[in-house]
Chain A
């Protein structure tokens, strides 16, 4: 997924859309907005980022899961099998992005890239709702996918590259 920080207005629509799509309980979220302000008035810069699980290629949450509930599914989405999860929280501690939370029903929950939608060829709910079209999703191997086209000719960065997790959220700058 690529997030265009030049267009995001930080409205949090992605957060509500995720909540209603995935029945995320009130008070919790699978995605969130970060506002970064730098500079001194009147030379100020600001960046909004819509953040969520980075679906890392080298995912510490999967490595540290004692039951195998956390796993990388075919295609690269990091998932939690709820009935295998004992809610120990090791994955929450290991995640450098703070992307996981303990669901009140006893398991650890996180972004699934709306796998139930993606399976049918739809985009994740956050991508389809964004009024600024700042979220792009798809196959990085396919040069014509939405995400590849969005990243073409643009500078990008990932979050906490030093953690070595090979994150798969790309922030366009």
Chain B
């Protein structure tokens, strides 16, 4: 019989002998590695340096392992880190592929035009490229004021670019993660509780008894801590309820899957609220103590019965009642998850409000197994002079009462504010884009292009050529996160933690870290006072010493935990006195803030456009091995998923005579046709009224030797948005596509040939 303990003592016949055979064998084939070491190297024979991941925003801390020949071999999670508990997700594990990608940007590039009008990139030195950027920024400041510069920044390395932009004098600093992603939930929850959900989300999944996911596809989005905790509570017998028109991975692990008709979630939420109130399943003492507007809410949902919702959502009334009772039975250890990418239909703040209200009725906010009260370490800033006060902001490019409740800068707003408008005397004239591929991260590509064509200059800082780099005047190649220091990670969690990123390897090619780029530009712009440190290590060490650590210590441990300042992780446990940061000091079931600004104080269902005949709603989402459009060329991750498919219900496939694997082109309601064909996946996992695609594929830059032309881009088909009147979010899920079985561009290609 096998006993696994015995094989510890494997000797010559096994691994040892294999290692001996290595040198003769290596010459036989093509070696794909710089080193000839095919065999695994044990951890003790490698050097581990701390890092935190930059493949997505979760930023799990880990260790980069470098062998004696200086090859970066692997990245392993840091066991002390609450973001990952020592286990990175596939993208984090595959981060080595980002470092090794031979298609990386290698040198600064400057756009040139030859005498025939042909535009091309010329390789440039850093000195020349940075001088050019600085001179453009100077000119912008002189011609239109510094407020005509916008910075799009997504990712840690952009933090010092943000600092530079503020020192330069612009308030227009934005990331698509607000208006194109989590903005509605932050605004909706803040209107209710006076605080947002934050990132990582303050959901106490670890201790929950009931997790409700509304279109949130945990498991396909690899938000590491959430996946780990969801998996943990599956063992504890927690109930998972998933609402999704698609049979998602999470749905397959759920006790209840509610295959809702797309765009009707708010009707379901109102029906749930109705059941909780009508059946008196709510947390009465909690509401009495903390809530404002219960009676108004009760009257508001009186007729929002499960039977009413059935006609809208197609979810049977009995299922609505049963799931509501499941939630109530688990309360207050229940989470109606706020989701993350929630800019769907334009009434997303109201939907987020309904989610916030439902949680309040169940008493889950501030309770174990519901929403915890996070804390983070506040690192003091290395001293610098006060920022200049901007005279204008992007809001001044719009009529006065627009975007009043908007709490962050809208990326889409910056984009609109860059398009000349005869009624406005102010607009953006220059963009710096750090670490976000705007062609894929913003909807309405036609507007993004119009904005870009009207800019005086566009600078892109990235590690990879992307769609957006092709439009740049200057491209500045950053080294990857594995080759650089970055600001310390400090993020809200159950306990405050910090994490260090330090280089595991020297930057490849002629690439530089983001902090260095920002500091050089500051110097050329005469802003040295804002960067008084010589190198980032000095700044990090100064900051760390202020909180009782040091760079030396962090290099050893990577992650450091701090005690909580307040002992109130579950701050509403036991119903203590508490004042919420809202107008009434209460949880606002009825929002006085929204009422004051002329918006619906209680969420209401609105009917959204439906697909015309022969068209299907375009839903999109994530695959666990890719982040946005940023990882599709990473060799390790490309190996796992090379292209996306368009998911089609078998009934629809029959109607169109589509076969599994057949290539089709997608055409949307505005006549936009996908640049590339995409293969059909005929599957019972999707409703007949919608199709589904994983986001991020269909890359148009030929320099991406692996990802170019693989799959289709959902972004280019999202040409219509429904703007959220409350917070300016761009609702992207009312775009409809149909199938083209023949290559619509065939004729044109024949002419070309």
List the B side residues contacting A10 at CB < 8 Å: 219, 249, 624
**Interface 1/0s, chain B 613-644, versus A by CB < 8 A?**
00000000000110000000001110111000
Is B13 located at the chain interface by the 8 A CB criterion? yes
Q: Which residues of B contact A145 (CB under 8 A)?
A: 4
Given contacts A7-B253, A77-B7, A116-B42, contact A41 B231 (CB under 8 A): no
Contact call B25/A46, Cβ cutoff below 8 A: no
Contact, CB under 8 Å: B18 / A83 = yes
Give Cα A75 to B14, complex, Å.
11
26-83 of chain A: CB within 8 A of chain B: 26-27, 29, 37, 39-42, 44-48, 57, 71, 73-77, 79-83
Q: Contact: A82 with B25, CB < 8 Å?
A: yes
State which residues 593-612 of B face A: CB under 8 Å: none
Interface flags, A108-132, vs B, CB<8A=1, else 0: 0000101111111100000011111
A interface, size bucket: 35 or more
Residue of B9, B38, B84, B259 with most partner-chain A CB within 10 A: B38
Q: By the criterion CB–CB under 8 Å, are A41 and B89 in contact?
A: no
Please determine whether A27 and B639 come into contact, CB atoms closer than 8 angstroms.
Answer: yes
Asked if B21 and A82 make an inter-chain contact with CB atoms under 8 angstroms apart, the answer reads yes
B4 touching A137, Cβ below 8 Å: yes
Chain B, Cβ-Cβ closest to A39: B684
Could you tell me if A119 and B624 are in contact, using CB atoms closer than 8 angstroms?
no
In the assembly, what is the distance between CA of A45 and CA of B249, in Å?
10
B25:A107 contact, CB within 8 angstroms: yes
A114 to B478, CA, bound (A): 35
**Chain B residues with Cβ under 8 A from A39's Cβ?**
684
- Residues from chain A with a CB closer than 8 A to the CB of B499 are none
Interface residue from A20, A74, A103, A137 paired with B29 (Cβ < 8 Å): A103
Among candidates B219, B234, B683, residue contacting A37 with C-beta atoms closer than 8 Å: B683
Q: Is the beta-carbon distance between B21 and A6 smaller than 8 angstroms? A: no
Q: Are A9 and B42 in contact (CB under 8 A)?
A: no
Instruction: Say yes or no: A73 contacts B14, CB within 8 Å.
Output: yes
Contact A75 B686 (CB under 8 A): no
Question: A115 contacts which chain B residues (CB < 8 A)?
Answer: 7, 10, 14-15
Q: Complex: how many Å from CA A79 to CA B16? A: 12
Q: Which residues of B contact A117 (CB under 8 A)?
A: 40, 42
Residue of B at shortest CB range from A77? B7
B14 to A40, Cβ gap below 8 A? no
| Interface residues of chain A: helix, strand, loop or mixed (majority) | loop
Asked if A12 and B90 sit within 8 Å, CB to CB, the answer is: yes
Asked if B75 lies at the interface with its beta carbon under 8 angstroms from chain A, I say yes
Q: Check if B32 sits within 8 Å of A25, measured CB to CB.
A: yes
- Chain A residues lying within 8 Å of B635, measured Cβ to Cβ, are 26
Contact between A83 and B4, CB atoms less than 8 A apart: no
Cross-interface CB contact of A26 among B1, B247, B624, B636, cutoff 8 Å: B636
CB pair A20–B8 under 8 Å, yes or no, is no
Contacts of B2 in A (CB 8 A): 57, 75-76, 140-141, 168
Bound: A120/B17 CA distance, A: 18
A142 interface residue per 8 A CB criterion: yes
| CB closest chain-B residue, reference A55 | B2
Least CB distance from B661 to A in Å reads: 15
Q: List 10 A-B contacts (CB under 8 A).
A: A6-B234, A11-B227, A16-B625, A46-B247, A47-B252, A75-B6, A77-B10, A82-B21, A104-B29, A104-B32
Residues of B at the A interface (CB closer than 8 Å) are 1-10, 13-15, 17-18, 20-22, 24-26, 28-33, 37-40, 42, 73-77, 84, 86-90, 93-94, 96, 219-220, 222, 224, 227-228, 231-232, 234-235, 247, 249, 252-253, 257, 259, 624-625, 635-637, 639-641, 649, 683-688
Contacts from A to B (Cβ < 8 Å): 6-7, 9-13, 15-17, 19-23, 25-27, 29, 37, 39-42, 44-48, 57, 71, 73-77, 79-84, 103-107, 112, 114-121, 128-134, 137-142, 145, 147, 168
